[in-house]
């Protein structure tokens, strides 16, 4: 009996693993198809154009829940079988382009933005559909195109891998884990020991927050030593421009602390051939700032006293699709119209509050909830103000990591949302 009981669980594990792989292996190869698009328009129009397609070895995204979405995002990719239109893979995202559309500049000029998405390479021809939605969660533009995996013009990239990268934390095979990959921005080759220290500091900041703390074995962390010609990053409002690996800069959309790169093709060129799924760009500067875009990347200054909370806050955006719980007047036009429930799990307009944290509300909670000034991070309610608007948008707690840098934790609603997305990436339905 001892033998049997010893062997049986091992067999069970094997059976689970092979069942796990089948859904993926039926339709996809262990390769990554990179789809480059141009999104263009202004405050009223959106256009989507296919730019280029590339292929690289290995697929490091999710291998479970392939045909379902946990969060809607501001845009979606859907891969369907060309014969029976069955959905094979779905993915959601947000873009800087759509954020830009609500700036004043977008009322004056049409612009084009690079966007890059990774999907598993299909075994047979498929249709790929990209949709972009507006602030009312309505589809504003759509592009469907066919992808034949035997197309000779899909460019192979990343296979002759001479670039410098390494695992900083490896908890298991990249196929089973969530791969979070750090990219160096504004570090010269001689500064890569500093970059590695900065990565370890950022990892420590993330995994010291729940629920990452208790689920940290679901993640791998990788560092890509992408060298820059100059040290530091561009800060236009100080007149500083630097030649860096990703051509990032502060002052995105003329907001001083908003640090991003619009050069997504270059970013993904740097990453080609490396196990990556979620991207963290660390900038070699002490100037305060950062940015995070859902399922695109997060970027943060590495040497500011607020670096740790900023990295974790932006990871809340880029990894978990959390919204900003803070508000002020008024960089954006209305991001969250009163007649539309936001898709982000930590804000509500009360249009469809049942789908949010209503089940976590203590009985007899008043809506809107009057801030008590006590239990700032844990007392769940429906507090008015959030998503850049002081009126009409409600957040779950008085203070949260998604609201202020001083908050030591994610609020219980954000924590649950992150836990759900980790399970979505790593567990069967």
DSSP class of residue 272 equals T
Min separation Cβ 333 and Zn ion, Å: 24
Q: Which residues touch 137 (CB under 8 Å, ≥6 apart)?
A: 72, 340, 341, 343
Residue with tokens 């979606």: 76
Min separation Cβ 288 and Zn ion, Å: 21
Stretch touching Zn ion by CB under 5 A, among 80-88, 115-123, 219-227, 398-406: 398-406
Min separation Cβ 414 and Zn ion, Å: 3
Stretch touching Zn ion by CB under 5 A, among 232-240, 363-371, 385-393, 396-404: 396-404
3-state DSSP assignment of residue 245: coil
Contact 222, 276 (CB under 8 A): yes
Residue with tokens 């405050």: 43
Q: Is 400 in the site for Zn ion (CB under 5 A)?
A: yes
Q: Which is nearer to Zn ion, 154 or 382 (CB)?
A: 382
Tokens of 60: 């490091």
Residue 206: phi and psi, rounded to 5, are -65, -50
Q: Is 346 in the site for Zn ion (CB under 5 A)?
A: yes
Tell me the number of residues near Zn ion by CB under 5 A.
5
Polymer length of the chain: 429
Min separation Cβ 321 and Zn ion, Å: 12
Query: DSSP states of 310-337 as a string?
Result: HHHHHHHHHTT-PPP--B-S-SSS-SS-
Q: Is 348 in the site for Zn ion (CB under 5 A)?
A: no
Contact 320, 376 (CB under 8 A): no
Q: Which is nearer to Zn ion, 188 or 348 (CB)?
A: 348
Q: Which is nearer to Zn ion, 65 or 348 (CB)?
A: 348
Count CB neighbours of 35 within 10 A. Answer: 19
Q: CA nearest 188: which of 269, 260, 244?
A: 244
Min separation Cβ 16 and Zn ion, Å: 34
Q: Is 411 in the site for Zn ion (CB under 5 A)?
A: yes
Q: Is 414 in the site for Zn ion (CB under 5 A)?
A: yes
Tokens of 212: 């990452």
Min separation Cβ 189 and Zn ion, Å: 39
Q: Is 418 in the site for Zn ion (CB under 5 A)?
A: no
Q: Which is nearer to Zn ion, 202 or 402 (CB)?
A: 402
Q: Which is nearer to Zn ion, 158 or 381 (CB)?
A: 381
**What x-and-dash track marks residues 353-392 binding Zn ion by CB under 5 A?**
----------------------------------------
Residue 140: phi and psi, rounded to 5, are -100, -35
- Provide the CB-side half-sphere exposure for 387 (13 A, CA): 28
Position among 55, 184, 402, 422 found at the interface with Zn ion (CB under 5 A): 402
Residue with tokens 């697929």: 59
Stretch touching Zn ion by CB under 5 A, among 130-138, 182-190, 213-221, 404-412: 404-412
- 167 strand-pairing partners: 222
Provide the binding-site residues for Zn ion, judged by CB under 5 A: 346, 400, 402, 411, 414
């Amino acid at each position: 009996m001892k033998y049997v009981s010893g062997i049986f669980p091992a067999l069970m594990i094997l059976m689970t693993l092979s069942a796990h792989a089948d859904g993926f292996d039926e339709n996809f190869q262990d390769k990554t198809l990179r789809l480059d698009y141009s999104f263009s328009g202004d405050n009223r129009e959106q256009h989507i154009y296919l730019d280029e397609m590339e292929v690289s070895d290995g697929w490091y995204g999710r291998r479970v829940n392939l045909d379902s979405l946990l969060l809607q995002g501001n845009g979606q990719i859907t891969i369907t079988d060309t014969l029976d239109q069955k959905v094979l893979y779905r993915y959601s995202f947000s873009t800087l382009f759509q954020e830009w559309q609500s700036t004043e500049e977008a009322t004056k000029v049409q612009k084009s933005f690079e966007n890059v998405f990774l999907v598993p390479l299909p075994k047979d021809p498929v249709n790929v559909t990209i949709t972009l939605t507006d602030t009312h969660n309505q589809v504003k533009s759509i592009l469907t195109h066919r992808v034949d995996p035997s197309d000779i013009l899909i460019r192979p990239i990343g296979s002759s891998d001479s670039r410098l990268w390494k695992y900083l934390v490896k908890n298991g095979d990249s196929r089973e884990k969530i791969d979070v990959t750090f990219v160096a921005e504004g570090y010269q080759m001689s500064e890569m020991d500093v970059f590695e220290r900065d990565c370890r500091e950022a990892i420590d900041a993330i995994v010291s927050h729940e629920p990452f703390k208790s689920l940290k074995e679901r993640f791998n962390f990788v560092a890509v030593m992408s060298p820059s010609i100059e040290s530091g990053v561009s800060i236009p409002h100080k007149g500083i421009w630097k030649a860096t690996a990703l051509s990032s800069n502060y002052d995105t959309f003329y907001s001083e602390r908003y640090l991003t790169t619009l050069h997504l093709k270059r970013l993904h060129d740097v990453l080609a051939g490396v196990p990556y799924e979620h991207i963290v760009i660390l900038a070699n500067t002490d100037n305060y700032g950062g940015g995070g875009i859902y399922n695109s990347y997060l970027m943060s200054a590495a040497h500011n006293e607020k670096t740790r909370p900023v990295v974790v806050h932006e990871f809340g955006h880029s990894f978990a699709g959390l919204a900003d719980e803070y508000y002020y007047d008024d960089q954006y036009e209305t991001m969250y119209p009163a007649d539309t429930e936001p898709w982000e799990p930590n804000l509500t307009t009360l249009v469809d509050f049942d789908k949010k944290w209503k089940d976590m509300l203590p009985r007899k909670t008043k809506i809107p909830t009057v801030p008590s000034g006590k239990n700032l991070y844990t007392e769940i309610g429906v507090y008015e103000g959030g998503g850049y608007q002081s009126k009409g948008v409600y957040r779950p707690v008085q203070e949260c990591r998604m609201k202020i840098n001083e908050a030591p934790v994610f609020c219980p609603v954000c924590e649950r949302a992150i836990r759900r997305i980790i399970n979505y990436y790593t567990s069967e339905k």
